[in-house]
Amino acid sequence: MPVKSEETGGLSRNERHILLLIRRHGPLPRARLAQMMGVSAQAVGNLSRKLVHAGYLTENEVVRGKVGQPSTPLSLADNAAFFLGFKIGRRLAELALVDFAGNVRMHRQMVHTHPEPRRLIGFARDGLATLCNSLNAAQRARISGVGIATPYRLWDWGEEMRGWLQFDLAGELQVDLPFPVMLENDATTACGAELIFGAHDLPRDFLHLYVAHFAGGGLVLDGALRHGPTRNAGAIGSMPMPGGGQVLDHASVSTLERMIGGPLPPDDTGWNIPPEIEREWAADAGRALAHAAMSTVAVADLGLVVLDGAVPPATRSLLARSMREALARIPGAGIDRPRVIEGSLGRSARILGAAGLPLARNFLPGGVPGPGECA
């Protein structure tokens, strides 16, 4: 079993800022870091030397032949820390071991008809032991924690899910683990993954929509993922629709499954839907998501919506086009319609976001989780 994590909470905000910039932009020389942070080159030199000495950064080969002095880009050290992620979905549970640079070192999954608490805890405990034992002792000492991505209120999914009503998932998993366990809504973690691992250069304010078995979302304001007092901010799927029902009644994979009369696979293989049915679903889902986006923009003045989901890229693109068309038809006097782009992580967003919870807690500016954490 894993060894107790090393202390990683001693990094200053500026040190965390350096790590964040390199994570988002790739290897950067010290002069560029100083420019981006608005601090002196000497300050960045001192901070970066500390991070290199601690093993969080590595110095790449010197770059010569350009204007000015030769520069030495700094990059994240893969083995600086490790993060474990556990994702619970309607038909698929996943575990992942992610390194400091965001690489998935190992992945495990289990298909189920519905998520049953005790079976999932058994899968998680066995799988976490396997993931941890794939590392050597020094690497195991750098495991920062386990993040859990799960839908909230699982007991609302049907009578077969009543076992979740009084089940303390994080507390059960914490038993015998020497590092913290953090739990967050799965759609929120998908949004966090786009912030941490995504390919887009995102603004400081945007709405993230994630279409899986049910639809959900995440809200980013002033560059920070907003959770709300009950950790349920951005619950777009629960938003009421004109004429009755909620967004999740339209913009969900479960709705598409009802239309085709059977379950879809939990990955892209075998995703074979009659084109006319997929177009009909995408049109209806696009209208629902456009309504949710415009309602959110009216409240929070957002200029961008990132649309992602546990669907193949072609289906996501169809859904994005439908949403843009629906947005153009919605009355928008007094507000600006947001731009819609596709997310960059797809099916991997929630499991990466789960692993990103301990990463954010220890290595991102202001990244301390709230009540979802078990010490």
CATH number at residue 65: 1.10.10.10
Is residue 309 domain-shared with residue 205, that is, in the same domain? yes
Is residue 71 domain-shared with residue 123, that is, in the same domain? no
Q: What is the mean pLDDT of residues 210-233?
A: 91
pLDDT tens digits, 70-128 = 788 999 999 999 999 999 988 899 999 999 999 999 999 998 877 788 888 999 999 99
Task: Using alpha carbons, list the distances in angstroms from residue 154 to 39, 91, 169, 239, 267.
Answer: 47, 13, 11, 17, 22
Amino acid letter, 216: G
Is residue 206 domain-shared with residue 331, that is, in the same domain? yes
Is residue 329 domain-shared with residue 251, that is, in the same domain? yes
Q: Are 179 and 41 in contact (CB under 8 A)?
A: no
pLDDT band at 195 (very low <50, low <70, confident <90, very high): very high
Q: Are 145 and 358 in contact (CB under 8 A)?
A: yes
Residues pairing with 305 in the sheet: 207, 340
| Structural domain count, the chain | 3
**Is 1 contained in some domain?**
no
pLDDT number for residue 2: 34
> Where do we find the tokens 């996943």?
94
Is residue 237 domain-shared with residue 337, that is, in the same domain? yes
Length of the chain: 375
Is residue 60 domain-shared with residue 134, that is, in the same domain? no
CA atoms within 13 A on the CB side of 187: 33
Q: What is the mean pLDDT of residues 353-358?
A: 96
Q: Tokens in use for 173? A: 């998993």
**Is 205 contained in some domain?**
yes
Q: Answer with the one of 50, 78, 106 that is the final residue of a domain.
A: 78
Q: What is the mean pLDDT of residues 208-232?
A: 91
How far apart CA 82 and CA 76 sit, in angstroms, is 12
**Is 89 contained in some domain?**
yes
Is the pLDDT assigned to residue 371 strictly greater than 80? no
Is residue 62 domain-shared with residue 88, that is, in the same domain? no
Where residue 222 sits, what CATH number does that domain have? Answer: 3.30.420.40
How far apart CA 228 and CA 212 sit, in angstroms, is 22
Is residue 291 domain-shared with residue 217, that is, in the same domain? yes
Is residue 252 domain-shared with residue 302, that is, in the same domain? yes
Name the burial class of residue 131, with classes exposed (0-12), middle (13-18) and buried (19+) by CB atoms within 10 angstroms of its CB. Answer: buried
> Where do we find the tokens 């979302």?
217
Is residue 233 domain-shared with residue 367, that is, in the same domain? no
Is the pLDDT assigned to residue 368 strictly greater than 60? no
**Is 6 contained in some domain?**
no
Is residue 156 domain-shared with residue 179, that is, in the same domain? yes
How far apart CA 348 and CA 87 sit, in angstroms, is 10
**Is 159 contained in some domain?**
yes
How far apart CA 328 and CA 339 sit, in angstroms, is 11
**Is 2 contained in some domain?**
no
**Is 7 contained in some domain?**
no
pLDDT number for residue 277: 97
How far apart CA 273 and CA 260 sit, in angstroms, is 7
Is residue 218 domain-shared with residue 171, that is, in the same domain? no
Q: Tokens in use for 116? A: 């049953």
Q: Answer with the one of 23, 48, 78 that is the final residue of a domain.
A: 78
Closest CA to 8 of 358, 352, 351: 358
**Is 4 contained in some domain?**
no
Is the pLDDT assigned to residue 6 strictly greater than 70? no
Q: Answer with the one of 37, 54, 78 that is the final residue of a domain.
A: 78
In the chain, pLDDT over 90 holds for what percent of residues? 71
pLDDT number for residue 115: 78
Q: What is the mean pLDDT of residues 281-289?
A: 97
Segments forming the whole domain that contains residue 69 = 13-78
Q: What is the mean pLDDT of residues 168-184?
A: 90
Mean pLDDT of the chain: 89
Is the pLDDT assigned to residue 1 strictly greater than 60? no
Phi, psi of 367 (to 5 degrees): -90, 55
> Where do we find the tokens 């029902």?
245
Q: Tokens in use for 212? A: 């899986």
Q: What is the CA radius of gyration of the chain?
A: 21
